[in-house]
Structure 1
Amino acid sequence: MNDNPGAGDPDGPKNPFEGTPFEQLFGAGGIPNMAGMPDLSGLMSQVQAMMQPYDGPVNWTLATDLARKTVAQQPDPSPSTAQQTAIADAVHLADLWLDEACEFSSGVTSTAAWSRAEWIESTREVWQRLVEPVAEHVVGAMGNALPAEAKAMAGPFLGMLTQMGGAMFGSQIGTALGTLAGEVLTASDIGLPLGPTGRAALVPANVATFANGLDVSADDVLLYLALREAAHQRLFAHVPWLREHLLASVADYGRGIAIDTAGIEEQLRSIDPSNMADLQGALEGGLFEPKKTPAQEAALSRLETTLALVEGWVDEVVGQATHERMPSAAKLQEAVRRRRAAGGPAEETFAALVGLELRPRRLRDASTLWGSLRTRQGTEARDAVWLHPDLLPTAADLDDPLGFREDLGTPTEMSEEDFDEALAKLLDEGGSGAPGTPPPPAE
């Protein structure tokens, strides 16, 4: 008979802290029975494994190690020379096609074929920037939320709580990044510039998995994904404010997370620590979930709109580049759209890491908007919208994508000077910020 209910016993009670930052602290070997004393030897073993020195709110050494172990659970060979050459050739051809589909020149300065482990290493710096604001808030709230009684029970462990929280966050991040590494197709697959500037990178192992069941040649799949990656690189290279705007928006969202420590403490006071059912019920009710403020809700809406506009522009430009050149493009476009719209483990991973869903919910509307603008006014007018963030379509514009910028007329109705004057007027009306400067974050 197992004397430790819930530890290794599938029929025993679940860990009441499952899904919270305390899960690993009070997991196997932690507190199996709140009415009794914890297994200190088991708990100290976990502490010793997690308490290696680190800087910042997250133990990134632990996170990277766990991410690598996660991807190592399945074969992850280094891309061959042939795969590297194939990707370089595909990106080069993609750039030639894109030259005729948009006003921006190539933004690619190098190409790469990444293994899943290489994707982790190559994107880690950006992930640190995105995740640490969230980690800092949550880890700090863990200690602040404990009522006096709980702090007394914690005793000598209280001083280690913050450091353990960072280690637990590192563990969760590592596992999540390892999972995400098994799905991403390119460096910009989730709509954010995660990789080094100007480097168009694909993950051949994941590309092969994506191609299964599409009834499209492997060469076409590779070229289509190279087109999307190269289009992202063009946009980020020639819209100087966009990269910083997206990354800062995500980080600011995480930094603004409000955790109701007073509410947590009040709920914890009402819980009988010897009653597992009470504790589990409180945790399942979202006891430790951060609350979104109205400012965050507004920021999230703006971020989702910008992501949709980026993905919609890429979708539209690649559609133009492949028109009359790649018969399978329509099938691949639909496969990518469904993959992005449906979400899945990759989007769930990001939601767990940063605290928001990173999904272009209105990709089709955005693609329609860009396509309509191009049809009426040409590629120059379509791409000129990226001159300044104040010119970008809003969520309301996506409600009527065919009506965006109808007041500017068409090239046959306006001279070049009139068109430039209209754009300048829009810039003046949009705000006083200088071109290339993102709008200030919402307070």
Structure 2
Amino acid sequence: MVDWDFAVTLGAKVAGEGPEVTSADAATVVAELRADADRSTALVRDFTGLVAAERTAPVLIVDRRGWVQANADGFSRILEPMISRLAEKRGVPQGLSLTIGSRVTGAEVGLLLGFLGTKVLGQFDPFYEPSGRLLLVAPNIVHVEREIDADESDFRLWVCLHEETHRVQFTAVPWMRDHLFSQMQALTETMEPSRMLDDVLRRVSEAIRGGGGSLLDLVSSPEQKAIIDRITGVMSLLEGHADVVMDGVGPSVIPSVDVIRARFNERRKGVGTLDRVLRRLLGLDAKMAQYRDGAAFVRHIVDQAGMEQFNAVWEEPAHLPSKAEIGDPAAWMRRVL
């Protein structure tokens, strides 16, 4: 019911190629990113105390199309239960209906991935078999380092520290992958695709007029909200922890880390009208809040109890913070420590 090939083709066109670089410069970027990812493993281990076997998940330096393809593959797996349930309820469309319907949904996914494909610097894909994979989007990294006039070597290592922290989180904490996937599966199983279409169109219209919230706000049942809260708690922890690591390790190995962080944060503010609309719809503003709130949660506990005590968060799913505890780290400490 989704033409994934069409989604990838359209997404790649929307994303474009990115900045122009010579073949020699492109080879240098790829080699440096690969070396920085390898170097980051030990830096993350020494700072966090989390031990992940090296090279358990491949590092892929990709272009924008490669990122779109990887995420289309991931979406198809996560959405499979919802698509199967809809097919059972309505029957599988045939002929022209199937062709048109799958193209329409493919276009929707493609436009989404095309927009995000211009923004993402790196991503750990935990659901890639058998142990995940680390994606570094070279054109976007080059684009941002040029835009903020950052030292190229420093910026590339800074990005790799953040993304390598995610690789360590999922490979040093083996239950994390299945836990997060089960929460996402549970959410898709509660959704009714046919009812959501009208709600999505209404939310898009509201966003264009300057109001409304993200598409995630469409979940309304208590069950859905509970799942969203659990996912938000986990993602805030993972993103905030990675930000703490990159800024904690940074000063010892990245001379210009303070300049990079200041310019990078300032860059996030300078977005146009269309960009603001899409960010609101896709919940990217909430994503930025995850970095901020999650980092504050991690720093509070590490400052109060130390990194070794904080690492209790990785021992079992019951020790993960709720969304409420992300905003109240003292409550997590009382419950877990």
Question: The residue matched to 2:121 in structure 1 has which SS?
Answer: coil
Matched, 1:173 2:130: no
Amino acid in structure 2 at the alignment position of 1:84: V
**Cα RMSD after superposing both structures:** 4.1
Q: 1:120 to 1:395 in 2, by over 3 A?
A: closer
| CA distance in structure 2 between the partners assigned to 1:346 and 1:162 by the alignment | 34
1:330-341 aligned within 5 A: 330-333=258-261
Alpha-carbon distance change, 61 to 201 in structure 1, aligned in 2, over 3 angstroms: closer
Query: 1:211 aligned to 133, 145, 164, which one?
Result: 145
Letter in 2 for 1:165: G
What is the TM-score with the length of structure 1 in the denominator? Answer: 0.59
Q: 1:284 to 1:365 in 2, by over 3 A?
A: closer
Distance 1:60 1:332 in 2: 37
How many angstroms does 1:166 deviate by?
Answer: 2.4
Could you say which residue in structure 1 is the equivalent of 2:45?
99
Equivalent position SS for 2:289: coil
Structure 2 residue ranges without an equivalent (≥5): 208-214
Please identify which structure carries the higher helix content: 2
For the 8 Å contact 1:139–1:165, the answer to whether it is kept is: no
Cα offsets for 1:43-87 (capped at 9, x unmatched): xxxxxxxxxxxxxx2111222222233344666888833222111
Which structure has more relative contact order (CA 8 Å, sep 6+)? It is 2
> Match of 2:134, SS?
strand
- Specify whether residues 64 and 329 from structure 1 end up closer, same or farther in structure 2 by C-alpha distance, changes over 3 A only: same
2:120 maps to 1:184? yes
For 1:281-296, what aligned pairs fall within 5 Å after superposition? Answer: 292-296=220-224
Flag structure 1 segments of 5+ consecutive residues without an equivalent: 1-56, 145-156, 265-279, 409-422, 424-443
Q: Is the Cα contact below 8 Å between 2:59 and 2:133 reproduced in 1?
A: yes
- Structure 2 Cα separation of the partners of residues 284 and 347 of structure 1: 10
* 1:9-54 Cα shifts (integer Å, max 9, x gaps): xxxxxxxxxxxxxxxxxxxxxxxxxxxxxxxxxxxxxxxxxxxxxx
Identity %: 22
Cα separation, 2, equivalents of 1:350 and 1:248:
26
1:351 to 1:131, Cα distance in 2 relative to 1, 3 A: farther
Tell me whether 1:164 sits opposite 2:100 in the alignment: yes
The corresponding residue for 1:123 is 71
Instruction: Say which SS state the counterpart of residue 287 (structure 2) adopts.
Output: coil
Q: Which residue of 2 aligns with 1:388?
A: 316
Cα contact 1:183–1:346 (8 A) shared by 2: no
**1:193 aligned onto 2:126:** yes
Deviation track 1:198-230 (CA, whole Å, cap 9, x = no partner) reads 533311210011123434311111000010111
CA distance in 2, matches of 1:334, 1:310: 22
The residue type equivalent to 1:170 in the other structure is G
354, 363, 366: which one aligns with 2:294: 366
8 A Cα contact 1:187 1:193, kept in partner: no
Distance 1:239 1:291, change over 3 A: closer
- Mapped pair 1:84 → 2:30: yes
Match of 2:61 in 1: 113
Q: Which residue does 1:305 correspond to in 2? A: 233
Q: Distance in 2 between matches of 1:346 and 1:87?
A: 30
Secondary structure of 1:304's aligned partner = helix
**8 Å CA contact 2:233, 2:320 repeated in 1:** no
Residues 368, 402 of structure 1: 8 Å contact kept: no
Q: Residues 404, 299 of structure 1: CA spacing in aligned structure 2 closer, same or farther, 3 A cutoff?
A: closer
SS class of match (2:122): coil
Q: How does 1:5-84 map to 2 (within 5 A)?
A: 57-72=1-16, 80-84=26-30
Q: In 2 relative to 1, CA 334–247 (structure 1 residues): closer, same or farther, beyond 3 Å?
A: farther
Output the amino acid matched with 1:129. R
Partner SS, residue 187 of structure 1: strand
CA-to-aligned-CA distance 1:321-359 (integer Å, 9 cap, x gap):
22444343234345666778999959948966xx99872
CA distance in 1, matches of 2:306, 2:76: 40
CA distance in 2, matches of 1:403, 1:338: 32
Q: CA deviation at 1:129?
A: 1.8
Contact 1:187 1:201 in 2 (8 A): yes
Q: Which has the larger radius of gyration?
A: 1
> Structure 1's 238 and 131: CA in aligned 2 closer, same or farther, altered over 3 A?
same
